[in-house]
Amino acid sequence: MPNEKTLILVKPDGVQRGLIGDVIGRLEKTGLKIIGIKFIQISEELAGKHYAEHKDKPFFSGLVKFITSSPVVALVLEGNNAISITRKTMGATNPVDSPPGTIRGDFAIDLGRNIIHGSANDDDAKREVDLFFDKNELCQYSKSNDAWVTE
């Protein structure tokens, strides 16, 4: 889809391991544009809303505990096919299944410590961007190389 938005989190493990720059650098290099960014401590309430689809899963309480265990970096990326481009760059949910060259494939070994969140589809992206960012925290702007990224 043209000019999609997607919500990214550098999760607590990525922050604690000093991987913020590597993760954001890889995403930036795709050509997707950062239109929102912040460093936040996720509350239990926000974690519950963000991971609502998993609330009945056995791993839900561990997931909430993990995502609230340390600050995260939240970003909104914008560009053509931002959701699928980002998911490809992230790798699979389980690092074991993530090929080299992907963020999870290169930086993670454990399903519960997989470094990055990225919205999985259009509905999730809209909901998650709204959960983490106010409208006035997103910047619409041009970059001089836009025409070299998008035809």
Query: Min. distance of Cβ 112 from ligand DAT in angstroms?
Result: 5
Identify residues 23-62 at the interface with ligand DAT (CB under 6 A). Answer: 59
Work out how close the CB of 62 gets to ligand DAT at its nearest, in angstroms, rounded to a whole number: 7
DSSP class of residue 121?
A: S
**Cβ–Cβ under 8 Å, residues 98 and 118:** no
- Say how many residues touch ligand DAT, by CB under 6 A: 8
Which residue bears the tokens 């550098």?
A: 10
Q: Which helix (H) or strand (E) holds 40?
A: strand 33-40
Max Cα–Cα distance, the chain, nearest Å:
48
Which amino acid is located at 5 in the chain?
A: K
- Give 33 or 102: the residue with its C-beta nearer to ligand DAT: 102
The mark string for 98-127 relative to Mg ion (x by CB under 5 A, - otherwise) is ----------------------x-------
Q: Which is nearer to Mg ion, 24 or 83 (CB)?
A: 83
Cβ of 102: how many Cβ atoms within 10 Å? 20
Q: Is 47 in the site for Mg ion (CB under 5 A)?
A: no
